[in-house]
A and B are shown apart, each in its own frame.
Chain A
Amino acid sequence: MKKWWSATGLVAASAMMLAGCSGTDGGNGSSGDGEGGKTTLTAWAWNVNVGALNDAMEMYQEENPNVEIQVEDLGRLDVYDKLSTGLAAGGVGLPDIVLVEDDRIGGYATAFPEGFVNLSDMGFDDNADLFPSFKQELAQVDGSYYAMPFDAGPGGMFYRRGLFEQAGVNADEIETWDDFLEAGKKIKEETGAFAMPLDKFKDDPTFRMMLNQLGTYYFDENGNIDLTSDEAVMAMEKLIEFEEAELIKEVDGWNGVVSATVDNSVAAIPFGAWYYGTIIDQAADSSGDWGVFLLPAFEEGGNRASNLGGSSWMIPAGGENEEAAYEFLEYFSTTPEVQLVAMQDYGLFPSLNSTYEEELFTSEDEFFGGQKIWELFANQMADVETPYYTEDYALGLDEAIKAQADAFNGMDPAEALKAAAERLAERTDREINN
């Protein structure tokens, strides 16, 4: 009999290994009370966010010595894959804290209504006014908070001073997309560098920034499909104008954008403020050659504020440490010192309004030729329009990328967007705005 037990034990152990159980317990944040009554919070995050979380915990421990954190550094998509599978399995093996990008919050909270802690019930509403309105809206589902706002991605054109000077273009004079188009032509002629990089057939970040700038997105605030709006057509047509002038460098995914950034083959990269971290990290030898200007407007004096990306923290429901996780995250989200560390050390641009009053935000950045870039980013935050992602964002993205691919392969932009909107209506049962 004894033998039999050891055999089953062996099987169970190998089953665990096969199931890919990581070192953490299978249960939902079941690490509970560790030694000497310590609470150990578990978290999933990726990239620089891991360091930010760990540093914040060190600051938190000065007041709360009985809490510690174990952050698993997973890839961004791995976090989503594990989160989706865990939620689909009824909340098995999830951490106490998970990082989720803003465009996915609604999707998760709607698809798994029981899956996350309702933060409004815990009293988060008192903190709401500390954040810009678009971040507030993105963290709520049906009027309740399900996420605590963390970083944002105020948009900008990261540009190469050297290439601009060589072509005799002054970045300060670029106010509209048409100005930028002319500048791009000059730069291409003088230096051979493209105006911007884009993964034309697999991703649409520039299109999304333009939509946000124009106050629209894949969906409007009523959840109707807005891909056929005049603004969306205008944005896509603008991209195609750049394409026809041969100013867009075709790149392959994220790595392609980074390569183009490093090898000086593009003059500007339209992205969120978080791209700062990548530039100083990957193109360290080009210090001083960089500058930023706001996204050009579509018309003289038009809106230039935009946002791309940004993320928030969510608490999966059913863990033993919900309370402790909430306390810590509230500290993390609403303490300016923590947000400053995240920004200074990790390049994560905070959305906590009070942070912008800190000295750092009026400082000059050496890497960017002494420009006050943080001020430029912070000043546009209040003007950023809310992008309505809805729970069908993933489908919207899928169809928008197809529309872009069709347009770049020669289809009329309006036609391509209309076809995409129709497919999206078919897939989501939503109405198309006319």
Chain B
Amino acid sequence: MRSKTLVPYMFVAPAVILFSIFMAYPIIYSFILSFQSGQGSNMEFTGLDNFARLFSDDIFITALKNTFILLIIQVPIMIFLALIIANLLNSALLKFKGVFRVSFFLPAVTSLVAYSIIFSIMLMNDGVVNQFITAIGLDSIPWLSDPFWAKASLIIAMTWRWVGYNMVIFLAGLQNIPDELYEAASMDGASKIRQFFSITIPNLKPVILFTVILSTIGTLQLFDEPFVLTKGGPSDATLTIGMYLYQTGFRFFDFGYASTIAYVIVILIAIMTFIQFKVTGDQE
């Protein structure tokens, strides 16, 4: 009998053991680390010093600003684009739906580093994009070396990658809106655009909230794109919190401070998510 009761535990054991070794333990250990400071193995317990240091750390504040600028500009653009594309691809008039859906979704499954490298090659000073721009008679743009354009490049790259992903989620959501609503609206003479704003968006609200939260979490942890495209430059113009965390730990060996930054990111994500729930209001 005893062996029988063991069976279910054996089935969950691998997951539990792996989770404790690779998730729970690091989470707890980095929490302890976040109250210590020093280079490498010369760690000492400093209490809340790391948190105090964060607020006077200009570079952290720059990274925070950058991350929020990206968040505030990129997420709405991307969500809106994804909504529009999902609607178009949902229309009954469109042929080859499958092809379009797949091609919009493909960027989301490409390797992060590979796509970042391709973008960096395209956006180089004498890259394809600038060759095209100069060919049509405009001045070439310093995509990766000017503080403003470097941010713009990141936004373009991230939008390219994630629009399709959110579009697929919206497409699923659109299936759940009853056709009768649209039919009734058409009878009342509402235009397609009016229908989009008055029927589609309100009905998709929970799905939109879900994608906004996902994107927010993703952007707060943003690392690969700035790391490959701009190395956080020029002069920290595209340094994100995620990159600063990596640099602090692996380049400057201050694992304690890096853990503090990691926990601040967690707290930020929690706050942002909470606010988004509150703002959108309906607690179903």
Contacts and interface: CB of A to CB of B under 8 A. Distances in A.
Interface of A: 3-4, 7-8, 10-11, 14-15, 18, 80-81, 84, 87-88, 90, 107-108, 110-115, 200-202, 250, 252, 391, 394-395, 398, 401-403, 405-406, 408-409, 423, 426-427
B61 to A, nearest CB: 12
B31 to A, nearest CB: 16
Contact of A409 (B10, B40, B125, B234): B234
Interface of B: 6, 10, 13-14, 17-18, 21-22, 39-42, 58-59, 120-121, 124-125, 144-147, 230-231, 233-236, 247, 250-253, 255
Contact of B252 (A112, A394, A423): A394
B125 A112 contact: no
Contact of B233 (A14, A110, A114, A202): A202
Given A4-B6, A402-B236, A111 B146 contact: no
Nearest to A80: B250
A201 B145 contact: yes
Given A15-B17, A111-B253, A406 B41 contact: no
Contact of B41 (A4, A18, A113): A113
Given A15-B18, A18-B22, A88-B255, A391 B39 contact: yes
Contact of B247 (A18, A398, A405, A423): A398
A3 B7 CA distance: 10
Contact of A7 (B13, B124, B147): B13
Q: Dominant SS at the A interface? A: helix
A405 B234 contact: yes
Contact of A423 (B41, B58, B144): B58
Contacts of A110: 39-40
A401 B233 contact: yes
Nearest to B22: A18
A11 B21 CA distance: 11
B42 A111 contact: yes
Contacts of A11: 13-14, 17-18
Contacts of A408: 145, 234
A113 B42 contact: yes
B243 to A, nearest CB: 11
A18 B18 contact: yes
The 9 closest A-B pairs by CB, nearest first: A111-B40, A405-B234, A111-B39, A402-B235, A201-B234, A405-B235, A112-B40, A111-B253, A202-B231
A366 B144 CA distance: 40
Contact of B145 (A15, A80, A112, A250): A250
Contacts of A88: 40-41, 253, 255
B10 A111 contact: no
B265 to A, nearest CB: 20
Nearest to A409: B234
Given A14-B14, A110-B39, A111-B39, A200 B252 contact: no
B54 to A, nearest CB: 13
Contacts of B17: 11, 15
Contacts of B124: 250, 252
Contacts of A391: 39
A32 B52 CA distance: 47
Nearest to A85: B250
A254 to B, nearest CB: 12
Contacts of B233: 201-202, 401-402, 405
7 contacts: A88-B41, A88-B253, A107-B253, A111-B39, A201-B233, A201-B235, A391-B39
Contacts of B120: 252
A250 B146 CA distance: 13
A137 B145 CA distance: 37
A4 B145 CA distance: 58
Given A107-B253, A111-B41, 13 more contacts: A4-B6, A10-B14, A11-B14, A14-B14, A84-B40, A87-B41, A111-B40, A111-B42, A115-B40, A201-B231, A252-B121, A394-B251, A394-B253
Contacts of A87: 40-41
Given A201-B233, A252-B124, A4 B251 contact: no
B36 to A, nearest CB: 12
A395 B244 CA distance: 12
A281 B83 CA distance: 51
Contact of A201 (B6, B40, B144): B144
Contact of B146 (A18, A112, A403, A409): A409
A402 B39 CA distance: 23
Q: Could you say which of B40, B121, B230, B255 has the most chain A C-beta atoms within 10 Å of its C-beta?
A: B40
Nearest to A12: B17
A409 B147 contact: yes
Between A3, A391, A409, the greatest number of chain B beta carbons within 10 A of the residue's beta carbon is seen for: A409
B18 A250 contact: no
B189 to A, nearest CB: 55
Given A252-B120, A409-B234, A409-B235, A112 B41 contact: yes
